[in-house]
């Protein structure tokens, strides 16, 4: 089977992608954290400690590791990795590795909330948004409102401020936005698009309940309005392969854009269960392969996600801890810090014989039916 490398192994998105592809490819997994859950979903020889995405040497180290392991496709799944990988796509292709990542143009918009709202205001409802800074004019603003980081997506670094006085007490660092508070229901639309940005499938979903102690209950549903708006947003920003577009209803009940995640989301398993196997289809698109003409048909379904346990030998955890320490030491002396459970040299000797027999262009194994 083909070899695929997935990073961000500690994220829910990576675990979902690993599980979606584990029967269709030989998966190699990386993370900066030796305790990342996704590392322990693959055989020990395929676990790697990697640099952070914002490390200056990150893409060079990852391209070298992909070359060493003869990786056919690289899938970065943390936001800090996306732009660097998109900017150095040619370096990966030079070693025979394709990348499943949006374009630099798309990421410049999706990772900048202010730019996203400016770009999409002609194709959908967007919340009033203002960059905060010295001398900002707050006349006409209605409170409560949101203060959030200009970069990034999701609910991290978001605060509701009840008044202009409360806004003055915000002391976060970095670029901040003041944004209209949207009081209505929240929805997400998973999107599949081809290499040219043509939308092939849209699957709306919503969370029914969320418990930080146990899990999440969510459902997919058909909503032509949400699907139409999501398609317009995706095409406006040039989204390719896979992404998630979030909306929330404003005070008038209109679906209003919240953010765009230009990669797989942590709820991709629900989309797969509904009938659209976005990970496998996106992989085929990234490799330049044809996919069936009708891929957007899905059924309304629900999922209850809960915490799962993976029992491993303590030596496996200790091995990853040692690799993390070694990676830090090597970085300190200017050497590559992408390591498996052994050093790169010993990993190469352990895997080179099998890797040399795997053509990088091998297609996904379809022996296992789509869930």
CATH number, domain at 9? Answer: 3.40.50.20
Helix (H, G, I), strand (E, B), or coil: what is residue 305? Answer: strand
**Residue 153 sits in the same domain as residue 190:** no
**Residue 262 sits in the same domain as residue 321:** no
Helix (H, G, I), strand (E, B), or coil: what is residue 150? Answer: coil
**Residue 326 sits in the same domain as residue 215:** no
CA atoms within 13 A on the CB side of 115: 16
CB contact at 8 A, 156 and 93: no
State residue 259 phi and psi, 5-degree precision.
-165, 170
What's CA 36's distance to the chain center, in Å? 16
**Residue 266 sits in the same domain as residue 191:** yes
pLDDT for position 151: 86
What's CA 301's distance to the chain center, in Å? 23
pLDDT for position 232: 98
Distance CA 295, CA 284 (A): 12
**Residue 188 sits in the same domain as residue 302:** yes
CB contact at 8 A, 235 and 170: no
State both tokens at 274. 């509904």
pLDDT for position 155: 58
Is 333 domain-assigned? yes
Distance CA 47, CA 248 (A): 38
pLDDT for position 217: 86
Residue 223 domain boundaries: 183-306
Last residue of a domain, one of 123, 158, 180: 180
DSSP category for residue 142: -
C-alpha radius of gyration, the chain, whole number: 21
Is 112 domain-assigned? no
**Residue 94 sits in the same domain as residue 138:** no
pLDDT for position 215: 54
**Residue 172 sits in the same domain as residue 189:** no
Is 364 domain-assigned? no
The DSSP element (H or E) to which 27 belongs, if any, is strand 26-31
CATH number, domain at 227? Answer: 3.30.470.20
Is 195 domain-assigned? yes
User: Which residues lie closer than 8 Å to 169 by C-beta, 6 or more apart?
Assistant: none
The per-residue pLDDT string of the chain (371 residues; one tens digit each, 9 = 90 and over) reads 899 999 999 998 999 999 999 999 999 999 999 999 999 999 999 999 999 999 999 999 999 999 999 999 999 999 999 999 999 999 999 999 999 999 999 999 999 999 999 999 999 999 999 998 767 788 889 999 999 989 876 656 788 999 888 887 877 667 889 999 999 999 999 999 999 999 999 999 998 876 555 457 899 999 999 999 999 999 999 999 999 999 999 999 999 999 999 999 989 999 999 999 999 999 999 999 999 878 989 999 998 877 778 888 899 999 999 999 888 776 654 544 454 443 333 233 333 333 334 444 444 554 333 33
Tell which residue, 264, 257, 297, 261, has the closest CA to residue 278. Answer: 264
Is 170 domain-assigned? yes
pLDDT for position 173: 64
How many separate domains does the chain show? 3
Is 91 domain-assigned? yes
pLDDT for position 9: 96
CB contact at 8 A, 214 and 166: no
**Residue 188 sits in the same domain as residue 290:** yes
CB contact at 8 A, 338 and 51: yes
Is 110 domain-assigned? no
pLDDT for position 331: 66
């Amino acid at each position: 089977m083909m070899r695929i490398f997935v990073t961000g192994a500690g994220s829910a998105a990576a675990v979902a992608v690993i599980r979606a592809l584990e029967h269709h490819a030989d998966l190699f997994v990386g993370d900066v954290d030796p305790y990342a859950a996704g590392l322990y979903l693959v055989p020990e020889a395929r676990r790697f400690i990697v640099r952070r995405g914002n490390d200056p040497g990150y893409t060079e180290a990852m391209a070298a590791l992909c070359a060493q392991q003869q990786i056919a496709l690289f899938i970065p799944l943390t936001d800090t990795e996306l732009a660097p990988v998109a900017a150095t796509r040619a370096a990966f292709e030079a070693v025979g590795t394709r990348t499943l990542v949006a374009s630099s143009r798309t990421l410049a918009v999706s990772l900048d909330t202010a730019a996203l709202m400016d770009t999409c205001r002609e194709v959908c409802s967007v919340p009033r948004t203002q960059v905060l800074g010295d001398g900002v004019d707050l006349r006409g603003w209605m409170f409560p409102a949101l203060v959030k980081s200009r970069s990034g997506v999701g609910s991290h670094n978001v605060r509701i401020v009840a008044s202009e006085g409360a806004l003055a007490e915000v002391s976060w660092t970095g670029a901040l936005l003041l944004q209209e508070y949207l009081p209505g229901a929240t929805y997400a639309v998973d999107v599949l698009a081809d290499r040219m940005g043509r939308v092939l499938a849209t699957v709306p979903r919503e969370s029914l309940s969320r418990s930080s102690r146990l899990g999440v209950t969510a459902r997919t549903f058909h909503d032509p309005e949400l699907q139409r708006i999501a398609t317009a947003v995706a095409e406006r920003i040039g989204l390719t392969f896979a992404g998630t577009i979030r909306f929330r209803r404003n005070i008038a009940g209109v679906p209003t854009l919240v953010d765009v995640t230009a990669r797989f989301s942590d709820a991709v398993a629900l989309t797969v269960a509904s009938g659209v196997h976005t990970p496998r289809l996106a992989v085929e698109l990234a490799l330049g392969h044809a996919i069936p003409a009708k891929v957007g048909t899905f059924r309304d379904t629900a999922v209850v996600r809960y915490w799962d346990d993976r029992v491993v030998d303590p030596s496996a955890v200790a091995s990853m801890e040692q690799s993390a320490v070694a990676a830090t030491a090597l970085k300190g002396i200017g050497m590559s810090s992408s390591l498996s459970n052994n050093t790169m040299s010993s990993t190469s000797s352990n895997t080179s014989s099998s890797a040399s027999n795997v053509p990088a262009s091998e297609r996904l194994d379809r022996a296992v039916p789509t869930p």
